[in-house]
Structure 1
Amino acid sequence: MVDPQSREARVDCVGKHVYQVVGGYGSIDWLPAVPRTERVKVRDYTCDCRPIVYELCQAGGLRFIRRISRPNGRLVVEESRWSTAAVIDTLWGELLRGEAR
């Protein structure tokens, strides 16, 4: 079994994996998910083999990152602030590289 924090993906994994956090990483303000629009397009996502799954989402001309976890079997969905594609795409890259959480 692969260490869930390692950079190595399992053979059966289909999504991206978030790297371990690096020292001095940035903090993402996670807010409770609030339905703001009828449709949300998931543009990218991380593998669900980890306890926390992230989705890069777009709706209404803006982007945001959704964080989904299940602490104690309870579904928790949170979102980053909504912003322009350039801002959120940069944040998404930082998250994947372990430079933000």
Structure 2
Amino acid sequence: MSDQGRTAEGYHTLHLAPLQAAYERMTWRPATPRADRVRIREHTCPNHTVSYEFCLGGGLAFIRRTYRSDGVVVHESEWLRIRDAERLWLRLLLGQAR
């Protein structure tokens, strides 16, 4: 693993790889509460205009995308079985999906 995302104190956060030429276009929907509790398992660096979170709730998983510009706009991927969402999260991190 490279030092990207690390600080002298240890782990900082995840950073996205550059977008690949042939990437999967994800379907993003407005965020809607579907579970009583949502746990964020991983997240990308929040210091960028766009950040992502891998979320678990109600026995399913999804990716939350947050735009921070003049305001905050939040979208979610479809809610998937956890294993399928983990694969999608990895593709997002590797620049193979957005």
TM over 0.5: yes
1:95 counterpart SS class:
helix
Match of 1:65 in 2: 63
Deviations 1:23-66, CA, capped at 9 Å, x for gaps: 11001100000011221000110111211110000000000000
Q: How many residues align?
A: 94
Match of 1:90 in 2: 87
Question: CA separation in 2, counterparts of 1:61 and 1:46?
Answer: 22
Identity of aligned residues (%): 38
Superposition map of 1:48-59 within 5 A: 48-59=46-57
One-letter amino acid of the structure 1 residue matched with residue 54 of structure 2 = L
Question: CA separation in 1, counterparts of 2:39 and 2:72?
Answer: 20
Match of 2:37 in 1: 39
More strand by share: 2
What 5-or-longer segments of structure 2 have no aligned partner? none
Query: Normalised by the size of structure 2, how large is the TM-score?
Result: 0.87
CA RMSD of superposed structures (Å):
1.8
Deviates more, 1:23-32 or 1:11-20: 11-20
What 5-or-longer segments of structure 1 have no aligned partner? 1-6
One-letter amino acid of the structure 1 residue matched with residue 79 of structure 2 = W
Question: CA separation in 2, counterparts of 1:85 and 1:47?
Answer: 22
